[in-house]
């Protein structure tokens, strides 16, 4: 059923801000005149939740997490960008595999399932997920849904 992506995103931002670290600020911004989308709200919420939870977990205090949504005639795009520990290049191709964790996670806890869930849910909704990351600089995940008539 159709729902308001901006409203959902604002709610998630508020929830995740409460579990963020000291002075970690989640900045949400939407681009586009439309805000209603026809996607599975629960699946999408779970995906965004996982990406922001990772951004919080894998970046330090006093950092910004950018959360952006964009709706155009051609696509719905969701981006979560952090300034955290990043993902080593040799680990990147395994990132969506179940139970995989990168080698620079140290003592940060996790099971390695979140991103596998994001990938599977995104594909269920006929979308795709991709990322760019540089170690010690940060990571940006993008979920993309192409819209066609
Ligand atoms: P959980 O199942 O609780 O989510 P997890 O966070 O370890 O555990 P995933 O969310 O699947 O598992 O992420 C897989 C791995 O990808 C992580 O262990 C981490 O190495 C890396 N990773 C994911 N997101 C980020 C990020 N934003 N910055 C740096 N590394 C990340
Ligand atoms: Mg995770």
Q: Is 48 helix (H, G, I), strand (E, B) or coil?
A: helix
Global pTM reads 0.98
For the record, the structure tokens of 80 come out as: 């979560």
ipTM greater than cut 0.90: yes
Give, for ligand 1, the residue of 102, 108, 122 to mutate: max count of ligand atoms closer than 8 Å to Cβ: 102
- Of 67, 83, 101, 131, the residue with max ligand 1 atoms within 8 A of its CB, to mutate for a pocket test, comes to 101
By three-state DSSP, how is residue 51 classified? Answer: helix
Tell me the HSE value of 122 on the side-chain side, using a 13 A CA sphere. Answer: 25
Tokens of 141: 């995940």
What is the number of the ligand closest to the CA of 80? 1
pLDDT tens per residue across span 92-108: 999 999 999 999 999 99
């Amino acid at each position: 059923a159709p729902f308001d992506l901006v409203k959902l995103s604002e709610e998630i931002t508020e929830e995740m801000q409460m579990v963020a670290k000291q002075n970690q600020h989640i900045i949400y911004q939407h681009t586009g005149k439309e805000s209603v989308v026809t996607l599975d709200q629960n699946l999408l919420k779970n995906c965004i939740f996982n990406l922001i939870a990772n951004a919080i977990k894998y970046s330090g205090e006093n950092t910004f997490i950018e959360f952006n949504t964009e709706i155009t005639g051609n696509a719905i795009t969701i981006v979560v960008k952090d300034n955290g520990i990043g993902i080593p290049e040799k680990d990147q191709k395994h990132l969506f595999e179940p139970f995989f964790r990168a080698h620079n996670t140290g003592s940060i806890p996790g099971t390695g399932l979140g991103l596998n869930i994001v990938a599977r849910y995104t594909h269920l909704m006929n979308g795709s997920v991709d990322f760019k990351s540089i170690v010690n600089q940060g990571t940006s995940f993008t979920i993309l849904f192409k819209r066609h008539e």
